Homo-oligomer: A and B are copies of this chain.
Amino acid sequence: MPTEFDLIRRHFTPPTPRTLLAGGDDAALLVPTPGHVTAVSTDMLVEGTHFLPGTDPRRLGHKTLAVNLSDLAAMGARPRWAFLALALPRVDEAWLGAFSAGFLALAAVHGVDLAGGDTTRGPLNLCVTVIGEVLAGNALRRDGAVPGDDVWLSGCTGEAAIGLAALRGTAAVDAIDEARCRARLEQPQPRVGLGVALAGLASAAIDVSDGLVADLGHLANRSACGIDVHWARLPQSSALAGVDGKRRAAAILAGGDDYELAFTASPTNRDAVRAAAQAAGVVVTRIGATVAGPAVVRVLDPIGLDIAPAGGGFDHFG
């Protein structure tokens, strides 16, 4: 491949006690931390499927790593290493420089070593593998919730979905809110610190990428319990104040691309959860509870009616 791809290879982490070898050999050599288990996640992003053609490359570089770090955060794992494989339709040094700048800036924030990768020609495709570590026994799996646990959410959901709608011209929001929503869409901040702080404290966790109710459904399924969410407790972003009720509810409950953490914890851990969130500088909200019974997620209004039944749309908010 052309030497322009050395732009990225040049940024491979130099040898450290943790990363013995990164780039320039058949494989990277990493030193695992004793007593820890290794968390690994891989995600492939395709132009036209996961991001729009013409997306700003620096933001895309950021997001490509961010969505992977979000997966590690949801396991309670501290991110250590990233591997970046990419196919590019042509050599475009400016594009690649901006992309890698966005990727590497976020890696630096979280102390992640770029330890290897691959570059090739082909339709634009970005595949990242991230590797993190968590103390054995402390990992936040999806299957650890038990009935009676609190259900928590970091930050708020819905902004990214409205940002995407604004980008497509299908939602009218004022200029300031659009900037905030687009930043949420294009430069999500993975909840790395919160995830690490919750390891061994939360009973289960998942990152909210497909939409809040859908992702809570995955957690409910794996934990074999139901989840009741109280609509009135869900954090409402002020950036969505100008959006009509039905669309706002759909964005909050089913928007996707939020990259928040939804997690469960015993009520006896409430103070500890709040302290962990404060230490991580992230707002968390107790939005409901797990319940014995089938793996169904209900979103309840103040008198206990399910206002967003599966497949039922959001007519209640019209």
Contacts and interface: CB of A to CB of B under 8 A. Distances in A.
Nearest to A119: B44
Interface stretch (A122-130, A154-162, A288-296, A305-313): A122-130
Interface stretch (A54-62, A71-79, A226-234): A71-79
Contacts of A92: none
Interface stretch (A22-30, A101-109, A172-180): A22-30
A32 B32 contact: yes
A183 interface: no
A177 B75 CA distance: 52
A174 to B, nearest CB: 34
A146 interface: no
Interface in A34-70: 34, 36-44, 46-50, 70
A87 B46 contact: yes
Nearest to A41: B27
Contact of A39 (B29, B48, B127): B29
A301 interface: no
Contact of A125 (B44, B81, B139, B206): B44
Nearest to A36: B32
Contacts of A136: 31
A256 interface: no
Interface in A192-238: 205-207, 222
Contact of A27 (B31, B71, B122): B71
A83 interface: yes
Nearest to A123: B123
